[in-house]
């Protein structure tokens, strides 16, 4: 059954572009490409295309709500004793990422992880951890899930007198 009051599915740009793909083979990039070619006018059958795009995305478990499959990653940065601050991650325009955990390892030091507002110049602490040489400690993010977009950078700052390199590893997953 077609969408109620919708045009012929055979004339759908969404279906024409993706008809040779199995649902399990569809990627978020394909959906983003189709979406980027649509205007937000909702006339001339475009509203039906929005619904088809959403239906296919949900059916393929590729495009919809929650974390996006195959986007999880661990971002790792090494800070040496001469660095005081470093950006770990800033999402690209249009992306939203969730910070899901992290750890600190290396020389004796104290790490401060913070979120920096790239628009207003404000920052706030997200986690802090002290380590002694040779430890690998999980970071405590104060029990709060954090989502960041291109306006917020995840940064780190090391204090104390590290006797060598300090490595921060942060787990992230894209949600939009």
Instruction: Report the pLDDT value the prediction gives residue 56, as an integer from 0 to 100.
Output: 86
Residue 146's domain is classified under what CATH number? 2.60.120.340
pLDDT tens digits for range 79-123: 776 676 789 999 998 788 999 888 878 777 777 888 999 999 998
State the average pLDDT over residues 7-25: 86
4 domain residue, yes or no: no
108 shares a domain with 53? no
CA distances from 43 to 38, 48, 49 (A): 11, 9, 10
Position 1 pLDDT exceeds 60: no
| Tokens (6 digits) for 172 | 């992230």
49 shares a domain with 89? no
Instruction: Report the pLDDT value the prediction gives residue 8, as an integer from 0 to 100.
Output: 81
100 shares a domain with 46? no
Instruction: Report the pLDDT value the prediction gives residue 24, as an integer from 0 to 100.
Output: 83
66 domain residue, yes or no: no
Position 134 pLDDT exceeds 70: no
144 domain residue, yes or no: yes
88 shares a domain with 45? no
Position 152 pLDDT exceeds 90: yes
**β partners of residue 131:** 109
State the average pLDDT over residues 143-155: 87
19 domain residue, yes or no: yes
Question: Domain range spanning residue 18?
Answer: 9-59
Instruction: Report the pLDDT value the prediction gives residue 107, as an integer from 0 to 100.
Output: 73
In terms of pTM, does the model score above 0.75? no
131, 109 Cβ separation under 8 angstroms: yes
45 shares a domain with 111? no
84 shares a domain with 113? yes
Instruction: Report the pLDDT value the prediction gives residue 106, as an integer from 0 to 100.
Output: 76
159 shares a domain with 90? yes
Tell me what percent of the chain is helix, strand and coil, each rounded to the nearest 5. 20, 35, 45
Instruction: Report the pLDDT value the prediction gives residue 111, as an integer from 0 to 100.
Output: 78
pLDDT tens digits for range 164-176: 777 888 999 998 7
96 shares a domain with 51? no
pLDDT tens digits for range 33-68: 888 888 887 777 788 888 888 888 888 876 667 788
Position 145 pLDDT exceeds 70: yes
Number of domains in the chain: 2
2 domain residue, yes or no: no
């Amino acid at each position: 059954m077609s969408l109620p009051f919708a045009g012929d599915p055979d004339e759908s740009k969404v279906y024409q572009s993706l008809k040779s793909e199995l649902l399990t083979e569809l990627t978020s990039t394909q959906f983003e490409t189709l979406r980027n070619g649509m205007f937000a006018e909702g006339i001339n059958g475009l509203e039906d295309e929005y619904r088809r795009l959403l239906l296919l995305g949900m059916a393929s478990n590729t495009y919809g709500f929650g974390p996006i499959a195959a986007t999880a990653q661990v971002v790792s940065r090494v800070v040496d004793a001469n660095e005081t601050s470093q950006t770990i991650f800033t999402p690209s325009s249009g992306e939203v990422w969730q910070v899901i955990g992290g750890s600190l390892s290396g020389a004796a030091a104290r790490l401060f992880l913070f979120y920096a507002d790239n628009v207003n110049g404000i920052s706030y602490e997200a986690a802090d951890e002290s380590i002694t040489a040779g430890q690998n400690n999980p970071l405590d993010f104060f029990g709060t899930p954090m989502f960041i977009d291109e306006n917020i950078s995840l940064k780190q700052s090391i204090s104390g007198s590290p006797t060598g390199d300090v490595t921060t590893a942060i787990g992230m997953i894209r949600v939009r």
